[in-house]
Amino acid sequence: MKFLKQNKYFFLLRIALGISIIAIGYLTTMFYFQMKDLDSSFQSIENINATQNELDELFSILKEDEIKLSNLIIADDVAISKGIFNREEASEKIKNLEQLSANNRFLHQSILKLASFIEKKYTLFDEIMASSKAIPYDENTFTEKLFENKRFNHSLYKFIEDDVQPNINGIKLHDSNYPEKIATTRKTVFILALVSIVIFLLSYSKMNDNLLYLKKINNDLKLLNDTFNSAEKIAGFGYWKIDLSTNAYTFSDNLYRLLEEDPKKFKPNWENFNKYIHPEDYEYVIKTNKESIDNQIPTSMLFRYILPSGVLKYVISTANFRTNDKGQNIKIGVIHDVTEQFKKTFELEENNKRLIAINAELESFNNIVSHDLQEPLRKIQMFISRIEANDLSVISEASQGYFSKIKVSANRMQHLMIDLVNYSRTIKSDKIFVEINLNAILQEILEELQPTIEETKAKIAIDELPNVLGTKFQIQQLFINLISNSLKYTKPNTTPEIKITTDDFFADNLEDSINEKSDKIITNKTYFKIIISDNGIGFKQEYSEKIFQLFRRLETEMSYTGTGLGLAICKKIIENHNGFIKAQGNPGIGATFIIYLPKSL
Amino acid sequence: MNSDSSQMRILLAEDDEDDRLFFNDAINELKMNNRLMTFKDGRDLMDYLENPETTLLPHILFLDLNMPCKTGAECLKEIRANPKFKDLTIAIYSTSSSEKDIEETFIGGANIYIKKPNDFSKLKKVIKDVVNMNWQYHTSGLNKETFFLSI
Residue-wise pLDDT for A310-341, tens only, equals 888 888 889 888 887 777 888 888 988 888 88
pLDDT at B2: 46
Determine whether the interchain pair B22/A371 forms a contact, defined as Cβ–Cβ distance below 8 Å.
no
B73-118 confidence digits (pLDDT tens): 999 999 999 988 888 999 999 887 777 888 899 999 899 999 999 8
Burial of B81 (0-12, 13-18, 19+ CB in 10 A): exposed
Nearest to A590 by CA among A505, A495, A462: A495
- Out of A17-26, A284-293, A366-375, A385-394, pick the least confident: A366-375
| Mean pLDDT, residues A458-469 | 88
CB atoms within 10 A of CB B10: 23
- Whether residues A20 and A165 share a domain: the answer is yes
pLDDT value at A565 more than 90: no
Question: Rg of chain B over CA atoms, in angstroms?
Answer: 14
Structural domain includes residue A411: yes
| Mean pLDDT, residues A141-154 | 84
pLDDT at A523: 55
pLDDT band, residue A204 (cuts 50/70/90): confident
What is the CATH number for A48?
Answer: 1.20.120
Chain A residue with minimum CA distance to B65: A371
Nearest to A15 by CA among A214, A197, A188, A206: A206
- Whether residues A458 and A587 share a domain: the answer is yes
Contacts of A370 in chain B (CB under 8 A): 96, 98
Phi, psi (5° rounding) for residue A70?
-55, -45
Return the percentage of chain A with pLDDT > 90, whole number: 8
The domain at B8-149 falls in which architecture?
Answer: 3-Layer(aba) Sandwich (3.40)
Of A9 and A27, the one with more pLDDT: A27
- Whether residues A161 and A259 share a domain: the answer is no
A289 contacts A301 by C-beta, under 8 angstroms: no
Q: Which residues contact A7 (CB under 8 A, 6 or more apart)?
A: none
Structural domain includes residue A557: yes
Question: Is residue A377 within 8 angstroms of chain B, CB to CB?
Answer: yes
Determine whether the interchain pair B118/A377 forms a contact, defined as Cβ–Cβ distance below 8 Å.
yes
| Mean pLDDT, residues B23-42 | 90
Phi, psi (5° rounding) for residue A194?
-60, -50
pLDDT band, residue A515 (cuts 50/70/90): very low
Q: How far is B83 from chain A (nearest CA, A)?
A: 33
Contacts of A409 in chain B (CB under 8 A): none
pLDDT at B1: 44
Question: Rg of chain A over CA atoms, in angstroms?
Answer: 66
| Mean pLDDT, residues B21-41 | 90
pLDDT at A5: 58
What is the CATH number for A435?
Answer: 3.30.565.10
pLDDT at B113: 93
pLDDT at A559: 62
Question: Is residue A366 within 8 angstroms of chain B, CB to CB?
Answer: no
Question: Is residue A389 within 8 angstroms of chain B, CB to CB?
Answer: yes
Helix pair angle (B17-30, A374-390), 10° resolution: 40
d(CA B82, CA B136): 19
DSSP reduced 3-state for B68: coil
Window 93-122 of B: residues touching A by CB (8 A cutoff) are 95-96, 98-99, 116-121
A554 contacts A547 by C-beta, under 8 angstroms: yes
Determine whether the interchain pair B99/A370 forms a contact, defined as Cβ–Cβ distance below 8 Å.
no
E strands in B5-142: 8-13, 34-39, 60-63, 89-94, 112-115
Q: Which of A184, A204, A228 is the last residue of a domain?
A: A184
d(CA A580, CA A599): 13
- Whether residues A321 and A354 share a domain: the answer is no
Nearest to A187 by CA among A39, A26, A21, A34: A34
Highest mean pLDDT among A73-82, A419-428, B115-124: B115-124
Contacts of A374 in chain B (CB under 8 A): 95
- Whether residues A128 and A37 share a domain: the answer is yes
Total tally of structural domains belonging to chain A: 4
Contacts of A379 in chain B (CB under 8 A): 16, 18-19
Q: Which of A428, A446, A468 is the last residue of a domain?
A: A428
For an interface test with B, give the residue of A363, A370, A375, A480 to mutate (most B CBs within 10 A): A375
Structural domain includes residue A208: no
d(CA A498, CA A76): 185
A286-312 confidence digits (pLDDT tens): 888 888 888 888 888 888 888 888 888
pLDDT at A216: 93
pLDDT at A555: 61
For an interface test with A, give the residue of B119, B126, B143 to mutate (most A CBs within 10 A): B119
Structural domain includes residue A36: yes
- Whether residues A380 and A322 share a domain: the answer is no
Q: Which residues contact B41 (CB under 8 A, 6 or more apart)?
A: B13, B15, B67, B68, B69, B70
Structural domain includes residue A493: yes
- Whether residues A407 and A311 share a domain: the answer is no
Instruction: Find the domain containing A106 and state its range.
Output: 2-184
pLDDT value at A380 more than 90: yes
pLDDT value at A510 more than 60: no
Q: Which residues contact A429 (CB under 8 A, 6 or more apart)?
A: A471, A474, A576
- Whether residues A176 and A280 share a domain: the answer is no
pLDDT value at A513 more than 50: no
pLDDT value at A215 more than 90: yes
- Whether residues A370 and A420 share a domain: the answer is yes
pLDDT at A174: 66
- Whether residues A348 and A294 share a domain: the answer is no
**Option in A370, A377, A386 nearest B120 (CB):** A386
pLDDT at A48: 81
Q: How far is B138 from chain A (nearest CA, A)?
A: 19
- Out of A10-14, A253-257, A274-278, A305-309, pick the least confident: A10-14
CB atoms within 10 A of CB A265: 12
A405 contacts B109 by C-beta, under 8 angstroms: no
Q: How far is B82 from chain A (nearest CA, A)?
A: 30
Structural domain includes residue A333: yes
Structural domain includes residue A495: yes
Q: Interface pTM (ipTM) of the complex?
A: 0.84
What is the CATH number for A315?
Answer: 3.30.450.20
Q: Which helix (H) or strand (E) holds A154?
A: helix A139-159
pLDDT at A69: 79
pLDDT value at A374 more than 50: yes
Q: Which of A168, A184, A200 is the last residue of a domain?
A: A184
d(CA A590, CA B146): 36
How are strands ordered across the β-sheet holding B148-149? B34-39, B8-13, B60-63, B89-94, B112-115, B148-149
Phi, psi (5° rounding) for residue A597?
-115, 130
Structural domain includes residue A137: yes
- Whether residues A574 and A515 share a domain: the answer is yes
Buried b (16+ CB within 10 A) or exposed e, A83-122: ebbbbeebeebbebbbebbeebeebbebbeebbebbeebb
What Å distances lie between residue A54 and A90, A120, A449, B26, CA to CA?
10, 19, 157, 174
Determine whether the interchain pair A385/B22 forms a contact, defined as Cβ–Cβ distance below 8 Å.
no
pLDDT at A514: 46
HSE-up (13 A, CA, CB side) for residue A512:
5
Of A263 and A561, the one with more pLDDT: A263
- Whether residues A387 and A443 share a domain: the answer is no
